[in-house]
Amino acid sequence: MNRVARHNVASWFILAALMLSLLPVAALQPAVAQAQGSDVVKPAQTSVNPNEEIVYIDGQGYIRVLDVEAPNTPKTIQFVSPTSGWRSVALGDFNNDGDKEMVAVAGSGPTSSVLTIYDPVVAAGQTVPGQEINGVPWKQLASFALPDRPEIVAAGNFDPNVDGDEILVIRETVAGEAKDDNDWRIVIYKQTTAKHGHGTQWTEHTAINTSEHWDRINVANLDNTGGDEFVVAESGVAVRAYQPDQNMRKLFEYGSSCRQPYDATFGDYFKGGNKELLMVTDPRCASSSNQDSFRVYSYANNTFPADPGDVGSWQGGILFTPGPRTVFTGDINGSGDDEAILLRKVDNDPTAARLIVRSNGDDQVISEFQNGLPLADDNGYLAGAAGDIDGDGKDEIVIIRNNNIRYYPDANTSAQAVDYSTTTNRRTIAIGDLDAAGSTSGPVFATSVAKLDLDVNYGFITTGQFVLKNAGTEDSLAYTAVSNFSQLTVTPGSGLAPGKSSGGIVLTYSVDARNLAIGQTIKATISIFSTGTPEATNSPLVIPVTINVKTPPFEAIPAGTSALFIPCDAPTARNVTFTLSGLPGSQLRDVQVWDTATLAAAGASPELNGALYLGTRSEDGSSLLLHSAAGDEQVLAAAGRMNLLQAAALDAAAELAYPSQVPWITSVTVNTTTLPSQLTLTVDPTLRTKGLEQAGLVLIGPSYDASNPIAVRSYPINMVCSNWGAWMPVLGKQ
């Protein structure tokens, strides 16, 4: 073989390899339906989840829980208060069960004001029949009247001599309490039983009157000894910190008509040791020497300094004009110290920084938070909290506005946010672990899959199975299973889900992709409804389903062939064969044999850049439109003018002959158009024009609609005819 001939063979193989390498993955290997999860998702008698939950008050005054860890699973916390009108809510462990309960206040006068404690996840003990939400029992621990309108409620361990947390309420004063202009009263309630209280009986512990209308509060144990401290703020007026277990001793006070304080909180801003007090102010009339609008005060010797000095300026202080309106803390990178999260209100500037994160020490804050995110230019986000809502050991930033809850799931590395559309009261949000101690369980649906991610092949029906049972009790639960997508079905569509000690009932899902489109992604659901007695408390159980429609795979074996004729004086025709494989039952649409000049021209086309991977046959069959990954196109003339719509009506079992554009390939046949099949080429060297001839076998793969793309596979065919050959010696060992 001469050098030119060898070069031509090599070029053809390179072209063919390029064409094959650029085919979609689905066209090269079988697509498999995948179900996420292998074990039955069941709520055990005690189900402990490490993530914390978001508690907020909606636009109608109902207390709600957002549990983002595992939506639609039987143990997702979905508590909603039975009544509305709540003004403020806080979280604390009032019954000593190891998780958080809710305390809320409502009312506007002596006859309507009330404080109520809800346990949204009953971990142990008696439950109230019928009081279950999504399979999780809840109950009311206590409720008692307040003398007058409450403004805000908080919880903390204010009395270390009493088990469980205490409750702090800021309310209006009543006759006999007011002194001078002190119209507001800070009251701390404790349980009447010092040890092993159940959160049901409460009495007043200590109280103090103030003139300020406090609307912000934060609780923490500053030095990890004794009881908790708290800091309160009246936006634009004053900030004050108290020590309840020292007769409500005042630890800190700040007020300025010039540099007005907006908010204050506690946090471990300087890693280790005591907690710090963080405050945000308006700096616009401050002196040039001290213009910081974010200030950090270090707690030492049982007090805070009157001024932060260098702490506020070089460690935390920064000038924002206008200053931030909200500050809260959280350990967003899991490093052991807290970051400060600031929210600003900036009018008439949609690009202004409104969400800013500051950190001390070696912690790295990503530039988006360091520089500040603009958020919505209507300043709707002015309340927030931080907590580990996904159980990854790092706190997430959560902010709220009147119609949305936004959280940043990877705040240490990304400013990408997740939005949860809901109404809120714009100011109340708390984060805590409501199910740390697990919960008791009633009848609940549980399945072996939490979701389904399915890769289905266009033109085929894909099936799979999952298990359904009652994971809470031994009762059989009557069910109906339905889908919101017509091509997705579940059988049996109704029946009985057996009790928790059984193996469950097997349900089969089916996706009919014969009328779908390649590349299409469908988001669907399977919903399982309880239809009898007893009723599943988490009905309907919703299984999200993602359907990805793929091109059916197919290939030829071997990946190319050569017919060698030596000597070439009187050669006879010879057959070469390929095995065509793919999904059983799929149909080969067409076979073309092109000369290498045509293929090479297509492969070298600057519009295609060599990327041939999908094709569409014209309805009259006269041409094949090849598509590149970039969307460029190239038209190749086809032989035989076979119409794809006609091809669909072919007898799949019949032998079929295809025309050849190459003179020395005299016959192209397949034994069946249904894969797998065998393709036979007849090579006649007498019709050659030179010693080395080259061609390309192009297979047009499974498709059921001429308007949809079809996979194109190409394989080299070589014929070598020579009157002499050089043979390598064969060596053997004696």
Among the ranges given (44-53, 364-373, 485-494, 532-541), the one the predictor scored with the smallest mean pLDDT: 44-53
Tell me what pLDDT residue 446 has.
83
Are 571 and 565 in contact, with CB atoms under 8 Å apart? yes
What span, in angstroms and rounded, lies between the C-alpha atoms of 431 and 185? 26
Q: What is the mean pLDDT of residues 333-348?
A: 93
Which residue type does 338 have? D
Is the predicted pLDDT of residue 32 greater than 70, yes or no?
no
Q: For 52-63, what is each residue's pLDDT tens digit?
A: 999 999 999 999
Q: For 246-303, what is each residue's pLDDT tens digit?
A: 999 999 999 877 778 999 999 999 888 899 999 998 876 655 555 678 889 999 888 8
Q: Which range among 70-79, 456-465, 481-490, 695-704 has the greatest average pLDDT?
A: 481-490
What span, in angstroms and rounded, lies between the C-alpha atoms of 472 and 282? 55
Among the ranges given (589-593, 595-599, 665-669, 702-706), the one the predictor scored with the smallest mean pLDDT: 702-706
Higher pLDDT, 134 or 154: 154
Q: For 570-617, what is each residue's pLDDT tens digit?
A: 678 889 999 888 777 777 777 878 776 666 555 433 333 333 345 666
Q: For 84-143, what is each residue's pLDDT tens digit?
A: 999 999 999 999 888 999 999 999 999 999 999 999 998 866 667 678 888 788 999 999
Q: How are the residues of the chain apportioned to helix, strand and coil, as percentages rounded to the nearest 5?
A: 5, 40, 50
What span, in angstroms and rounded, lies between the C-alpha atoms of 641 and 578? 23
Q: For 168-191, what is each residue's pLDDT tens digit?
A: 999 999 988 876 667 899 999 999
DSSP state of 410: T
Indicate the pLDDT class of residue 697, thresholds 50, 70 and 90: confident
Q: Decide: helix, strand or coil at residue 244.
A: helix
As a whole-number percent, the residues of the chain with pLDDT over 90 amount to 47
Q: What is the mean pLDDT of residues 676-684?
A: 91
Q: What is the mean pLDDT of residues 413-434?
A: 96
What span, in angstroms and rounded, lies between the C-alpha atoms of 42 and 75? 8
Q: Name 663's Cβ contacts closer than 8 Å, sequence gap at least 6.
A: 687, 689
DSSP letters of 112-177? T-EEEEEESS--SS---TT-EETTEE-EEEEEEE-SS-EEEEEEE---TTSSS-EEEEEEE--TTT
Tell me what pLDDT residue 86 has.
98
Q: Name 158's Cβ contacts closer than 8 Å, sequence gap at least 6.
A: 166, 168, 188, 190, 205, 206, 227, 228, 230, 244, 245
